[in-house]
Amino acid sequence: MKVLVLGDANVDIELRLPTDTEKETRTHPDPLMFGGGSAANTAAALGKLGTPCGFLGTVGDDSYGRFAVQSLVDAGVDTDLVRFVADEPTVMVMVVIPPDGERLIYVWPPSGGAHRALDPDEATRAVAGVDWLHVSGLCLRVTPAREAILAGMTHARSNGIPVSFDLNLRLENWGWDDGFRAVVEDAVASADFVLGSATDELMPLTGATDPIAACEAVAAGQRTAVARIGKDGAIARSGTESVTASGFTVDVVDTVGAGDAFNAGFIAASLDGLDLREALRWGNAVAALSIGRHGARSTPTRDTVIRFLAQGE
């Protein structure tokens, strides 16, 4: 197994509310269900890119959990390490899209969920023998998943395995306090690559007023920091080097999971030995190709990315 992704898996249900015309003609859009979860989305995107990938996470022993796992299998992800738990439900994320396009997101259950049942011992065991570990910060808010994420990161880094950490702070949902900040800082200290939204994550984490300064603060000469800046592309800082890569102009259909898709492109390119700028371009390309279709799992194949990048040169 080349990449192990450790973290959350759930289902996303997308419900587009009818327009006035659709109401009159009684042609209401059908709900759509996709596999979801920030970590699982990155695993699925890696699988579709052809990068050997396994996923370690916990889901409920229910229909949503089975759907979430099957969606990973369909993407080419090894799910042998997924554990079903009987006493917690798989999280369901409902995305409601009014005609004006402004999304409303609801999470059920609002607290708890099977993803928090990750065990530190299984995380440590699973890391052995992989070439790269990727984790999501979403699980850092719940225990024992928090301890499992940190244990996996610590074990990987102490054994020379590259660790990428997608911040996934979700401050708009759960806020920011000193206790959670300390946990995030512990995770950053155990990461070789820290990825996140410039405005929503890296800047609040550091107090910096621009993405370049935020990357410099997170990198601190010890790791690579990557700031995603949406349609404008991405910025990275590694050592004394700052690198930028412009975004791509595409028709936007659905931005859910764009950051997760970026992570997959960045990891796949890094494992292929491409330099930092090319890894950013791959991240931008995978994200751009994913937002032109519905659902967080609408990510491209490797051949599609290669053709897309060739057209943009």
Question: Is 3.30.390.50 the CATH classification of the domain at 3-7+38-59+116-312?
Answer: no
Which residues fall within 8 angstroms of residue 108, CB to CB, at 6 or more apart?
Answer: 91, 92, 93, 94
Sign of CA dihedral 92, 98, 101, 104: negative
Q: Band of the pLDDT at 102, cuts 50, 70, 90? A: low
The pLDDT assigned to 256 comes to 77
> Which residue numbers are catalytic?
260
Q: Report the DSSP beta bridge partners of residue 6.
A: 56, 135
pLDDT, position 60: 97
Q: Which of 8-17, 115-124, 225-234 has the lowest mean pLDDT?
A: 8-17
Per-residue pLDDT reduced to its tens digit, 222-269: 999 999 998 899 999 998 889 999 998 888 777 778 899 999 999 999
Q: Is 9 within 8 Å of 116 (Cβ atoms)?
A: no
pLDDT tens per residue, range 33-62: 999 999 999 999 999 999 999 999 999 999
Task: Tell me the pLDDT of the chain averaged across its residues.
Answer: 91
Q: Tell me the pairing of strands 3-6 and 132-136.
A: parallel
Instruction: Give bridge partners of residue 237 from the DSSP assignment.
Output: 225, 242
pLDDT in tens, 76-93: 999 999 999 999 999 999
Residues 290-301: pLDDT tens digits? 887 776 677 889
Count the neighbouring beta carbons within 10 Å of the beta carbon of residue 238: 18
Residue 96 in this model has a pLDDT that exceeds 90: no
Is the bond preceding residue 109 a cis peptide, omega within 30 degrees?
Answer: yes
Alpha-carbon distance of 181 to 176, in angstroms, equals 7
C-alpha 214/C-alpha 201 separation (Å) is 9
Whole-model pTM above 0.85? yes
Domain ranges of the chain: 3-7+38-59+116-312
Helix orientation angle between 276-290 and 302-312, rounded to the nearest 10 degrees: 110
Place of tokens 């995305």: 95
Exposure of 173 by Cβ count < 10 A (0-12 exposed, 13-18 middle, 19+ buried)?
A: exposed
